Structure formats: C-alpha cells, structure tokens
C-alpha cells in the first residue's frame, strides 16, 4: 500500500483551497487545513476530508503576522508528522487602481500574498533538510490569469501576485534539490461579490474554448504539479484560454455578453 503523503494547503477552508484539499484527499494525500477566520468552514472541510479517508487537521494562523506564519509548518509537523508539500492558496483580494493605490494597501497585499508563500516554503525546506532522503517534496503557488492578461484593476493584488510569480523560479533554484517549486494560475473560476452565477456563466462562455474554468480543473492542475517529479520553476496557466483575449478591465467590471 502506498504511503499517504501530507500537504499543507493554506486557505483550505473554502473556495479554491477547499477544492484543492478535496482533490488531494481523494487521491491519497493527508491534509493540513489552514484557515485564518473561517473556523466553522475549516472544521467542515476537515470532516469532509476524513470522510474521504484522509487524515486531516485544522490550523489557524494569520499569515500576515510573520511570527504566526513562521510557526505554522512546525505546528503541522508536530501534530501530523513529516510534511511533503505546500500549496499557497490563501489570498487577499481587494480592489484598488492607480488612482486609489496607497502604501497601506500595497503592503497589506504583499504581507498576505507574497511574503507568507516564501516564508512557508523556507520552513518546508528546513523541515525536509532534516530528512534529505525523504522523497519528493514540492511547493505550488496559486497565481492568477491576470498576470498574463494585465489590466489596471486590483493593482495591489496583481502586483503581489506578480512578485510571487517572479519568486517561483527564484525559490525553485534556491531550494533545489530538496524542493520543487511550481505555480498554477487560474482564470475566472468562482462567483464573487461582483459576479453572480448568471454573470459567471456568461463570462466563462466568452473564453476561446467557449467554457470557463471549474474548481476541479484548478485542483487537478495543482495535483499534477505536486505529483510530477520533473516539473519545477514553471507556471501552469488554467484559464480556458482567456489570456488570449486582452481585457481593458477585470472580469468583475466587464459586461457579460460583450467583446472584451
């Protein structure tokens, strides 16, 4: 019987993080479910993962707090044992643009979206260095299709993800050979405050493939990156081709049924 490996998925209580955790649990992974404030959703996720046969535990941490971020990997290891992988899915997503950008907003996004991914990868590397013969280990950073189809909306968020995109090959070089470091950049996938189900379906239908991205597509891409030992320093774009259609505004501000 193949030994189940352990992965820490940040932001795993809901949305894409939960979809990723569910996909991995269904394919032989045990899951450390990170959350910040979504206590009820996190424990619901843990119950669902255990029903799939996975070991799963919930871990609360504000990743923008450097000390709590530094402590997360050791806490996971202490409770669940050897850690094989990290998926940086947790993300702050607030709107600003060139006119409204302020230092505070920019710093807040970098503290939430960029620095924690690097700190957690470093901690995983330190953990794996204690057992260099422990098998393949990997980090997957969640990016955004916006990086490949730039528009000036959500500027601080986009810059924080652009920095994480640049950090991915840098980390791949710095942390090899103990860790591989990859990224997955999803396109429009889920509903949000400005996009309801009807608008979501209409916007997805505008993609070159005539359909959009489902959460399971992103989760499958993450699992592929985690389980392929020959991939590092690369970004897999999962957006149904939307990056091929330049947009002047973010999806949230694009009228469905119109040409981007």
pLDDT along the chain (260 residues), means of 10: 85 96 98 96 98 97 97 98 97 94 97 98 97 89 94 94 98 97 89 75 84 93 98 96 82 58
- 3-state class percentages of the chain: helix first, strand second, coil last, to nearest 5: 45, 15, 40
Pick from 151, 146, 152, 187: nearest CA to 165: 146
Q: Tell me, what's the pLDDT at 227?
A: 97
Q: Tell me, what's the pLDDT at 4?
A: 87
β-pair type (29-35, 138-142) = unpaired
Backbone angles phi, psi at 230, to 5 degrees: -105, 5
Q: Tell me, what's the pLDDT at 255?
A: 59
Our CA angle for 98, 104, 108, nearest 5°, is 100
Domain 5-253 classified CATH 3.20.20.80?
A: no
- Look at residue 189 and give its three-state secondary structure: coil
Helices (H), 66-190: 66-80, 103-109, 115-129, 155-175
d(CA 215, CA 11): 14
d(CA 17, CA 237): 17
Our CA angle for 223, 227, 229, nearest 5°, is 145
Query: What tokens appear for 118 in the block?
Result: 């690097």
Q: Enter the pTM of the model.
A: 0.92
Q: Which residue has the tokens 């955004």?
A: 144
Q: Tell me, what's the pLDDT at 247?
A: 77
Q: Tell me, what's the pLDDT at 254?
A: 67
d(CA 249, CA 101): 16
Identify whether the C-beta of residue 85 lies closer than 8 Å to the C-beta of residue 7: yes
Identify whether the C-beta of residue 49 lies closer than 8 Å to the C-beta of residue 33: yes
Instruction: Count the neighbouring beta carbons within 10 Å of the beta carbon of residue 221.
Output: 23
Instruction: Count the neighbouring beta carbons within 10 Å of the beta carbon of residue 165.
Output: 18
Measure Cα distances from 70 to 64, 99, 142, 189, 239 in Å.
Answer: 10, 34, 19, 30, 32
Pick from 7, 168, 164, 171: nearest CA to 73: 7
Provide the 8-state DSSP code for 195: B
């Amino acid at each position: 019987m193949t030994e189940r490996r352990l992965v820490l998925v940040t932001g795993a209580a809901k949305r894409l993080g939960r979809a990723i955790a569910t996909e991995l649990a269904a394919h032989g992974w045990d899951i450390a479910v990170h959350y910040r404030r979504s206590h009820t959703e996190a424990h619901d996720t843990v119950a669902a993962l255990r029903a799939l046969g996975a070991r799963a535990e919930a871990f609360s941490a504000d990743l923008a707090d450097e000390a709590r971020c530094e402590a997360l990997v050791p806490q996971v290891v202490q409770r669940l044992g050897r850690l094989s992988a990290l998926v940086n899915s947790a993300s702050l997503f607030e709107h600003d643009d060139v006119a409204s950008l302020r230092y505070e907003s920019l710093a807040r996004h970098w503290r939430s979206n960029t620095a924690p991914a690097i700190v957690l990868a470093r901690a995983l590397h330190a953990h794996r260095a204690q057992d260099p013969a422990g098998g393949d280990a990997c980090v997957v950073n969640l990016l955004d299709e916006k990086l490949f189809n730039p528009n000036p909306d959500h500027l601080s968020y986009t810059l924080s993800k652009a920095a994480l995109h640049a950090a991915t090959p840098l980390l791949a070089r710095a942390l090899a050979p103990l860790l591989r470091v990859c990224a997955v950049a999803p396109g429009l996938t889920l509903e949000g405050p400005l996009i309801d189900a009807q608008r979501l379906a209409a916007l997805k239908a505008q993609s070159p493939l005539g359909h959009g991205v489902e959460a399971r597509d992103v989760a499958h891409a993450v699992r592929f990156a985690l389980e392929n030992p020959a991939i590092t320093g690369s970004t897999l774009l999962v957006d149904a081709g939307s990056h091929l259609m330049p947009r002047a505004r973010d999806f949230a501000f694009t009228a469905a049924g119109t040409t981007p």
